A and B are shown apart, each in its own frame.
Chain A
Amino acid sequence: MRSAVAGLELLEPRSVNEALRMMRDRGPATPLAGATDLYVHLNSGTLKPRRFVNRWALDELRRIASKRDGLSIGALATFTDCLRSPLVRRRLPMLAAAAREVGGVQIQNRGTLGGNVANASPAGDALPVLAAAEALVVLRSTEGERRVPFSAFYTGYRSTVMRADELIVALEIPPVAGKQWFRKVGTRLAQAISKVVIAAVRDARPRIALGSVGPTVVRVPRTEEALASGASIEQARRILEAEIKPIDDIRSTAAYRRRVAGNLLACFWKETS
């Protein structure tokens, strides 16, 4: 058995409110969902926290429901839940497309949307979808609930506005008009972290979000504006390549990512025309 996780203590809330009280009274206590991110850190010994709040059994957080003409997706909904949901497939097909490309089946069965958002990796595949759809992150603590626009949720590399006593309870997605498009580029199809990931909506007001090209998921307002005001895709592409700030890392180089992002933008524009 792994020694790196010696001394793990698990709190077992019976309801969301109890989980919130545990986080307030017993903190620091890290919420645990599918554990597909947490276990990687636990295993490598890089995780400091020792006390966890196990929310896997809180089915009340797993609901996917229609909310006016949009959607409310519980934070514990797994990628499998998302891609099997007729509502998601109808209203937010780009999320179903992203869910299908996360990890392999086993990761899709355990990895949750809330975990993807909270984990705050710039490579999280669901994040560009939520950014392009202008989702709201529903945060709850014992003091109440607040809704944070997705564009204001991340404050920097792996940091968010979420407080230690807050849980993401749901993602709310307003109705999305226009054609949705998603593409992930990685080393291989399954089990690969994105080198560049993009979600976009073709509408009078195009919305384009990219992952793995900066410290957080990004929208590209200058590129969006150019396209909205009738710029050619070649012009838009040059604007995009200047607008994003990718880095060299173990998975890829900045130059490659710029080039691929530009190619993806062109594909999006062509395939949704």
Chain B
Amino acid sequence: MSASKPDGLSRRDFLGVTGALAGAGLLAGKSTAGDGDNRPAAGGLGPDPVKFGLRVNGKDHEVAAEPRATLLDVLRDSLDLTGAKKACDRGECGACTVLVDGKAVYACMMLALQARGREIRTVEGLAKGEDLHAVQAAFIEHDGYQCGFCTPGQVMATVALLEKTPSPSGDQIRAGLCGNLCRCAAYNRIFDAAAAASKAK
């Protein structure tokens, strides 16, 4: 985790400048102040690690991470939830898809700090004990994968789609999953699995 210096500012210089601000770190989750308030601006977070809460799969967790950490890094490295995969790490492939407040997002493109106070769901939270979620069961039934690397992302995107659109048309399925790539090109079976899951419910 070495610091790069694209603008000639060393990490240490930078820490010197901002350390004082970080000390006044604001850890509250939700904002309360309305407009028109003229209080001095609250301090910044980071660049040193800060502690904050994340609610994942219905459980509250306390994590410590640098503000630059993505939601994906914190899920995988701090919470050991490795279902969401890191492939492109730049919002192109969908392997890292998780749900935030019911919406599918790329966890690699969201700062973990931006997910505070929100309901995060990952593939690990789908099954109830040994009972698989209907979408998971449908992916198995219909062989909705080959290597399986993209599968957690495909499953989560399907869950988000079906929660919003319980009986999607073929076009709606393709649109709902268009942000998820599959290197193995198992698309037809993935779409079959999504269609079957919508009927299974």
| Cβ-based interface call for B137 (8 A) | no
Per-position contact with A for B151-180: 1 when CB-CB < 8 Å, else 0? 000000100110000000000000111111
- Contact sample, A vs B, 25 pairs, CB 8 Å cutoff: A1-B68, A1-B73, A5-B68, A6-B11, A6-B68, A7-B9, A8-B68, A9-B46, A9-B47, A10-B67, A10-B113, A11-B44, A13-B41, A22-B41, A39-B70, A39-B90, A39-B108, A40-B90, A50-B47, A57-B31, A104-B179, A106-B94, A106-B109, A107-B179, A189-B178
Question: CA of A4 to CA of B7 in the docked complex: distance in angstroms?
Answer: 11
Q: Which A residue's beta carbon lies closest to that of B99?
A: A109
B41 engages A2 (CB within 8 Å): no
Query: How far, in Å, is B135 (CB) from chain A's closest CB?
Result: 15
Q: Which of A41-49, A86-94, A126-134, A196-204 contacts B (4 or more CB under 8 A)?
A: A41-49
A6 engages B176 (CB within 8 Å): no
Known contacts A6-B4, A14-B31; is-contact A104 B90 (Cβ 8 Å): no
Q: A17 is contacted by which of B9, B35, B43 (Cβ under 8 Å)?
A: B35
Q: Which of B14-22, B138-146, B193-201 contacts A (4 or more CB under 8 A)?
A: B14-22
Question: CA of A14 to CA of B15 in the docked complex: distance in angstroms?
Answer: 24
Q: Which of B34, B161, B176 counts the most chain A CB atoms within 10 A?
A: B34
| Cβ-based interface call for B106 (8 A) | yes
Number of interface residues of B (CB under 8 A): 66
B82-135 interface (Cβ within 8 A of A): 89-92, 94, 97, 103-106, 108-111, 113-114, 117
B111 engages A191 (CB within 8 Å): no
State the majority secondary structure of interface residues on B: loop
- Chain A residues near B3: list those with CB within 8 A: 3, 6-7
A12-54 interface (Cβ within 8 A of B): 12-18, 21-22, 25-26, 32, 34-36, 39-40, 42-48, 50-51, 54
